[in-house]
Amino acid sequence: MGNTHKAAEGLFESDADVQEEENVTQKIQTETSDQDVHKKLMAELDGLIERVREATPGFEPPQFTPERLMERVKKELKHYTPDIQLGILKKLRGTINEDLLDIDTWKGIWYMLSYTAEYQTGFVKEQWRGENATDEWGMDWELRQVVRPFFEFLYGNYFRVEVTGIENIPDEGRGLIVGNHSGQLPWDGVMVAAAVEVEHPEERIVRTLFATWFPTLPFLSAFMVRLGGATATVENATRLLEQDELVAVYPEGYKGVSKLFRHRYQLARFGRGGFVKMALNAKASIIPVSVVGAEETYIAIHKSNTLAKLVGTPYFPISLRFPLFGLFGFIPLPTKWYIDFGEPIPMDGYGDDASNNLLLVTRLSDKVRGIVQQMINKRLGKRKSVFFSS
């Protein structure tokens, strides 16, 4: 019995020794792994720094200090959501605790962060100078990526847009989105395009058509073109649709955006049916869309024809905040928006010369206008508040 007991003790001691050896081995492996990670990180940083120096021989970052590094990290973190920020900070804190990174590694990280910041600044300057490649219509994909976070902020956080009927937007191929226009400035067009890009599973790009008088505003018209817009002509729209693009048009034109507050959500005349001719020429389905919320972003109480002639625009609104508060008057009120996409109206059942049939064009134009007005009225009937969710 005593021998058995001693044998058992020996067995336990043996297991303990084995466990200790495994712990030591694991610790050695972990340290070796950390060293390997450190070597790989340093090698990657050295390679990146060398490439930067070859591409931009004149670049030298400010002198490294831990304080400057943390300030740079804070600035970079602002581009991420709070949960991602927290994850990055936890990993950074753990790295410091483990003493994995030495001062040379931090200097390398500082170098790359500084270069990234300077590159972004230079990149934005290039965008405004128009130095990037564009497609045949002048759309700049890189500029779209630069401004997309801002538009997504407006869409998700500022106007808090709610969307229905996104399934009515085709996954591919042509389609003509036709909607109401309002709000003094064309935020509705921007938010409709954002809704399709954000909510649609294929993240489709909407080519918005803008009024023919926009080219008289050089900065704004050029900006719209580089984001994917085009002048609102039958020829332009037909070409875009034949290229299987998704096109958006607002037939009320400036009569829509210049409406006074007392006329809100009352559709103006849909032009002369140009949008119907576009759809008939390209055999593209018309997708009606209603926007509710944009009418209250600016409270227009008067239109000045004198000032409109002076600045060369079709209208010049006088609102509760503009021109009294200067440029601050251009900031839209954070109203709650609803965008509803209706069922597509097919155009492929009409003949090749259908766009020349004035009676047919007028009838279809009135039909679409009536559908959009009904959609607006239906949404207004459900809405309980201008600024908060119903």
pTM: 0.64
Q: 217 Cβ partners below 8 Å, 6+ apart?
A: 313
CA pair distance 386, 291, nearest whole angstrom: 13
CA pair distance 294, 365, nearest whole angstrom: 23
User: pLDDT, tens digit, for every residue of 110-121?
Assistant: 565 555 555 545
**Nearest alpha-carbon partner for 180 in 249, 81, 131:** 249
**Nearest alpha-carbon partner for 275 in 294, 252, 254:** 252
Tell which wins on pLDDT, 211 or 293: 293
**Region 361-388: what's the mean pLDDT?**
94
Tell which wins on pLDDT, 31 or 165: 165
**Region 72-98: what's the mean pLDDT?**
60
User: pLDDT, tens digit, for every residue of 278-316?
Assistant: 999 999 999 999 999 998 888 766 655 665 566 556 555
3-state secondary structure 229-254: CEECCHHHHHHHHHCCCEEEECCCCH
**Nearest alpha-carbon partner for 134 in 226, 58, 200:** 226
What residue segments make up the domains of the chain, in order of their start? 26-129, 141-382
Mean pLDDT of the residues in the chain: 75
- Judged against a pLDDT cut of 60, whether residue 219 lies above it is answered with no
Q: What is the CATH number of domain 141-382?
A: 3.40.1130
